[in-house]
Amino acid sequence: MNCRNLILSLLTVISGGVAVWVLMGRPATGIDDADIFFVYAQNFAAGHGFVYNIGGETVEGFTSLLWTLICSGLTAIFQSLEKPLLLLNVLLGTATIKACLKRAVHPGRFVLMLAAAPVWFVWCQLTLMETGLWCLIITLLGLAVVERRRGAVLLLLPLLLLTRPESMLWGVWVILLVFMLGESGRRIKTALPVLLVYLLTLGALIGFRLSYFGYPVPNTFYAKVSPGLFSNLLDGMGYLLRFAVSGGMVLGLLVILLRVLARAEKGWSNSFWLAVFLLPGIGIPVLVGGDHFGGFRFYQPLWPLICLIGANEWPRMTANLPPRLGRFVLPVLLLAGWILFPFTSHIKHEFRIAKEGRENGAALAHMFQDLETWPTVAAITAGGNKLGYPGPVLDLMGLNNTEMAHAPGDAANFKNHTGFTRSVFYRWQPDILLCGDSEEFDELVLNGLHTEPQFNVLYTKCRLHRNGTDLEAWFRNDFLMNIPANGDEM
């Protein structure tokens, strides 16, 4: 049985991953945020520390310390990270599915449900982000808590805390559930070691951050902070609602999840406790206002456990359906999920942005290779541009720059892109300002910077040809006037 589950899990991950890879246009890289991980991994592996620019400030511009360390380890072994990380994500996804199949009453039903959400394969395999790792840890930890395996909880809880910042809230919930599921009269004794491991790990992590970076949480938190709780809740409820209606299978399984929670008085089953365990994963995205990425990144790590609950509760929930109809529901929902995926996922452009960023970085490196010092470059998308360019890159969104992240932002009305501050930009006055995904996008996240008289006195938008390379961007006027000719054409 274990061998069969392993083969089925591996085939599911590979076939789903290949299918979405083709539908995504066969990308050769992950998304731009994955390139940010690669920048830090390369610099750390080379002995420069956790820095975005070599010789620059130490800054936690990544959302997962554990994933950064994994990428750093792979960087020391392999020349490039894309294929090793893709293989690692396949293994992580296989382990996740196998753990669920072991507990699924009907494994085939579980696989049908899981595969009906193609975007799960995108986020957990193709993006090369920490999502697949986070998904595995959430899945294993949820199963360990529900099955009262305290030793596994003690091993997984530190990994949880090292993987994502929201794990600080998840950890408290895990401790509470371990207490509630403990034997009567022994609950405090059961939960106390879990509490101690949580406090020791969290204390060590915060202590390291304060001593190394100077702040208790990642710099990404300060760069992405939203205007207020009410605004977050409003955006977050919309995020949850859009996820619920993003596919027939998603809506059906969320209804089953709610019914399992509502039927608690009829039995405290494993399905019920798994549903309770998932509540922080559902609620935290609402509190923070959701996410700007397509494909509901925050909810994808919960998908395997949601499918496990749905697969085991399916006979009870569909008992009133005609048997013939019941047999066709899941295959139809699976087919519908894949047919609608190209039109509803809204994530394909993320791979294009990463590709263009790397091309821009390589063009900059070639264009200015003959200069004694590299020009300073400012960018909105800070992953691929920096990965390909050895010179200093200034992150306009503040993710990789504490000055921009902690300055009072201009409150751009675009989710997770509120870190830009004009006064900081004018203090920097970078040599080059790279164009973003579109003029409309630039206008939105930079709050009309390009239309300001002061900016237009300082900068000119043009196409520069140098060293056989072309690049369209905003160039500071005195930089253009003083740059060595070397065959320039504008």
pLDDT, tens digit, 9 for 90 and up, residues 155-207: 999 999 999 999 999 999 999 999 999 888 888 999 999 999 999 999 999 99
CB 301 within 8 A of CB 249: no
What per-residue confidence (pLDDT) applies to 410?
Answer: 59
In the chain, what percentage of residues exceed pLDDT 70?
93
Which residue, of 346, 369, 386, is where some domain finishes? 346
- Which has more pLDDT, 418 or 402? 402
Taking only the tens place, the pLDDT of each residue in 231-251 is 788 888 999 999 999 999 999
Read off the pLDDT of each residue in 310-335 and give the average, rounded to a whole number.
82
For residues 202 and 312, membership in a common domain is answered with: yes
Q: 469-476 and 432-434: which strand pairing?
A: antiparallel
**Are 301 and 162 members of one domain?**
yes
Instruction: Round to whole Å and give the CA distance between 444 and 418.
Output: 10
Neighbours of 277 (CB within 10 A): 22
The whole-number average pLDDT for the span 263-290 is: 86
Say yes or no to pLDDT of 225 above 90.
Answer: no
Sign of CA dihedral 278, 284, 287, 293: negative
13, part of any domain: yes
Q: What is the chain's Cα-based Rg?
A: 24
- In this predicted structure, the answer to whether residue 490 has a pLDDT above a threshold of 50 is no
| One domain for residues 360 and 317 | no
312 and 355 in a common domain: no
- Note whether 208 and 93 are same-domain residues: yes
Count how many domains the chain has. 2
Which of 298, 320, 346 corresponds to the end of one domain?
A: 346
What was the pLDDT predicted at 488?
47
Tell me whether residue 487 is in a domain: no
Domain-embedded: residue 73:
yes
C-alpha span between 387 and 382 (Å, rounded)? 8
Domain boundary among 346, 365, 385: 346
Are 387 and 438 contained in the same domain? yes
Q: Are residues 358 and 342 in the same domain?
A: no
- pLDDT per position as a tens digit, 431-474: 999 876 667 776 777 888 888 899 999 999 989 888 888 888 99
Residue 63 contacts residue 165 (beta carbons within 8 Å): yes
Is 102 part of any domain?
yes
Domain with 369 in it: 349-482
Query: Is 468 part of a structural domain of the chain?
Result: yes
In a domain, 488, yes or no: no
Are 422 and 332 members of one domain?
Answer: no
Does any domain span residue 490? no
pLDDT at residue 489 in the model: 47
Judge if 117 and 250 occupy the same domain. Answer: yes
319 and 425 in a single domain? The answer is: no
What are the pLDDT digits (tens) for 81-126?
999 999 999 999 999 999 999 999 999 999 999 999 999 999 999 9
| Residue 404 to residue 225: CA distance in whole angstroms | 12
Is the same domain home to 239 and 387? no
pLDDT value of position 328: 83
Residues 204 and 320 in one domain: yes
Coil, strand, or helix at residue 414? coil
